Structure 1
Amino acid sequence: MNGKPTPGALVWRLSMKWRVAVDRALAPLGLTHAQYVLLSSLYGMAGAGKWPSQRELADHTGLEALYVSKLARALEGDGLVERTRDPADTRTVRLALTDRGREVVTPALAEVRVLLDRLLAPLGGRGSDRTAAFVRDLTTLLDAPLD
């Protein structure tokens, strides 16, 4: 071993660094990183005209389906998310932001944009060519099957 960190170790450390940074940025708003991921994803999907099921939201976010279900129930209890049985398939639960959910996620989206500007500054910012290449490389790795 040459003492240099492996790509896997670097991805892990970067992931943890960003997660902690997001948690800290959102703490004053009363949100965790996982809650933000669910709420912001619902916000974006609704903007695209989608009414996702819990499974679709799990696939979209990369969170485990069981965790999305548990998190959605808690957010429903807080009045931020509405869970509705799909009329076409009552086994499917569809999720949507409530008005209060939109009120909570809107400042969180702005806070995370500011944070991303800071985190991506070493690559030239969110709109830089280096950031675009970084996103392409990460997407390639995420899209590659593990088996």
Structure 2
Amino acid sequence: MADALEPQESPGLLLWRTTLSWQRLMTSTLKPLGLTHVQFVLLASTWWLNHVAGESPTQRRIADHANTDPMMTSQVLRTLTTKGFLTRNPDPTDSRAIRVTVTPVGAALAERAVKLVEQADNTFFAPVPDHKALLAALHTLGE
């Protein structure tokens, strides 16, 4: 197999390794806050939708915003509700939908977690000289 790439020339393998390194950093950043990475993503997404976009999102809207599986999203949102970070209430106009709101405690945690994650991201991606090109590449690959 003469056409086989060397491991250091395989974009997929390099992306895998980079993703694992980044995930380890996220895990260690969020652990002191008592959050898993997916809990952080869903809490931060709900916080953003509530406080920045001015929405009272449904669980489905949060799953779409975070690009997560709706069933998994529902389970994690229940966990965050049990922890006191969110409230979940029936949608008054759609009996199948649940509206989600961040509690004051959840909002404070989300803001703190976002700052820590942004600091960790800045450190992790600091070696990349062209951040605009990196973001453009990530947007292209994520579509």
Q: Same fold (TM over 0.5)?
A: yes
**Which aligned pairs between 1:111-122 and structure 2 lie closer than 5 A?**
111-122=116-127
Unaligned runs of 5+ in 1: 125-129
What TM-score, normalized by structure 1, do the two folds share? 0.87
- The aligned residue for residue 131 of structure 1 is 131
Aligned CA-pair RMSD: 1.4
Larger-gyration structure (1/2): 2
- C-alpha distance in structure 2 between counterparts of 1:116 and 1:36, whole Å: 14
**Which aligned pairs between 1:78-117 and structure 2 lie closer than 5 A?**
78-117=83-122
Unaligned runs of 5+ in 2: none
SS at match of 1:123: coil
Look up the equivalent residue of 1:57 and give its one-letter code. I
**Which aligned pairs between 1:17-32 and structure 2 lie closer than 5 A?**
17-32=21-36
Is 1:76 matched up with 2:81? yes
SS at match of 1:63: coil
- C-alpha distance in structure 2 between counterparts of 1:43 and 1:99, whole Å: 10
**Which aligned pairs between 1:3-22 and structure 2 lie closer than 5 A?**
3-4=6-7, 5-22=9-26
Query: How far 1:141 moved relative to its partner?
Result: 1.7
Aligned with residue 67 of structure 1, among 44, 67, 72: 72
Query: How far 1:63 moved relative to its partner?
Result: 1.4
Aligned with residue 2 of structure 1, among 5, 8, 14: 5
Query: How far 1:2 moved relative to its partner?
Result: 2.7
